[in-house]
Amino acid sequence: MPIDAANPVPPAFPRHVGMDQVPDHVPPELIRQSGLTVGPEFLAGPHDFMAALHEKQPPIYYDVSPMGNMWHMLKHEDALFGLRHPEIFSNEGATPFPRDPDDYFYFIPIEIDPPHHRKYRNIVDPVFSPKGVLKLEEQIRRRSNDLIDGFIDKGECEFTEEFGRPLPVSVFLDIMGLPQDMRDTFVSWAMQLLHSNDRAIMGQAMQSITVYLKEAIAEKKANPDDGVVSLIAHAAPDGVPLSDKEIFGFVCFLFIGGLDTVFATLNNIWLYLAQNPDKVQEIHERPQDIDKVVEELLRRWSVTFSGRVLDQDYEMRGVKMKKGDRVTFILPACNFDPEVFPNPLEVDFDRPRRTILAFTVGVHSCMGAHLARLEVKIALQEWLKRIPSFKLKPGTHIEYRPGGVIGPENFSLVW
């Protein structure tokens, strides 16, 4: 049914949670409790866990989890197909974030199916296009160097706290036109929302985000500036201003999509490089190949997933799924599909070019992908110029966070 984002309604399809809520049409032999994003095996090494799924599980299985039951899809080919067919795999009601059913809103653009989806992307795509983000290049270099100035002489840093998190979050706040002094508060809200497996904590975080963003939107409506919050608050596609719910749902999703993903990516990459000096050396020796380097690192260390809801009964690989079933394309596992990326855990900057799924594909492909690529590239360039070799501080214990964005907790580096 066509969506009316100005008058949102909670999704009609229920969330199933737990073994007693497995629908009858799911064959028992396809039911798993894989522990994805929360189990001990995942938390011990999430990317190794993803690669091993191809050996341990069928390409499509029904996962039962405290976070919700859903079909998991592991194959690169199936993800390309599913993500390019929104008329079968719909985004309506597909995100896991809780909302007040009496004051419901959609996360925009992620929960909007075509054709309405395009009208929202058109508002902000120019800011996030390859040309749009290039304007941010100098600013990202300056912010990277300012951060490095803060710790280089110590010969060590807490990577997440001192670089991996402040860099993308401050760039994001600049783009949005939001104040830098909210950086740490924003990060803590995002962590509670994206890394808790307790829906009550997620709900509280959502409440804090709501109160803050509603005030920020009202401020931008009264005093426009050139940030993205103001751009959205004043948008009028086809001459019709966005409703308050559309504005809020859009700004709110940018907050969710744009904060945690880049710093999780930086964390994963720096942790890997700290333990693989030969790869650092290769990056130094091949400055002209930096884009290939970034692409391969993004494939190897992809951090998130694409959730969908079936809009019709559908059969894939002989598995019969029903309208209303939830499906997650396990993008990090798709990026390790050995049929597409042989020897998938190896970082090989000369891999034949294939579509990587870090940012998904299709209409909902990540709006921030060009920005994220640019941030990773500049961070690598500026860091390696000033800290050409580095390693993990001896005794550092690595812990991964549970939840929908994969990355390690803080770790210390020395040089």
- Give contact residues for ligand HEM (rule: CB under 6 A): 109-110, 121, 172, 253-254, 257-258, 261-262, 265, 303-304, 306-307, 331, 358-360, 364, 366-368, 371-372
Give min distance, CB of 377 to ligand HEM, in A: 12
Q: Is 87 exposed, middle or buried (0-12, 13-18, 19+ CB in 10 A)?
A: exposed
Q: Residue 60 forms beta bridges with which residues?
A: 73
Q: From the CB of 393, what's the least distance to ligand HEM, in Å?
A: 25
**Closest CB to ligand HEM: residue number:** 368
Peptide bond into 115 cis (omega under 30): yes
Write down the least CB distance from residue 376 to ligand HEM, Å: 7
What values do phi and psi take at 391, rounded to 5?
A: -145, 170
In the 3-class helix/strand/coil scheme, how is 100-151 assigned residue by residue?
CHHHCCCCCCCCCCCCHHHHHHHHHHHHHCHHHHHCCHHHHHHHHHHHHHCC
For ligand HEM, give the closer residue by CB, 131 or 397: 131
Neighbours of 59 (CB within 10 A): 17
Nearer to ligand HEM, 95 or 396 (CB): 95
Q: How far apart are CB 354 and ligand HEM at their closest, in Å?
A: 17
In the bound state with ligand HEM, the residue whose beta carbon lies nearer, of 26 and 262, is: 262
Helix axes 369-386, 166-176, angle to 10 degrees: 140
**AA letter at 315:** E
Whose Cβ is closer to ligand HEM: residue 65's or residue 265's? 265
148 residue type, one letter: I
81/151 with CB nearer ligand HEM: 81
Kindly state the smallest distance separating residue 201's Cβ from ligand HEM, in Å.
22
Give me the least distance between CB of 280 and ligand HEM, in Å please: 20
Is 80 or 414 the residue whose CB approaches ligand HEM more closely?
80
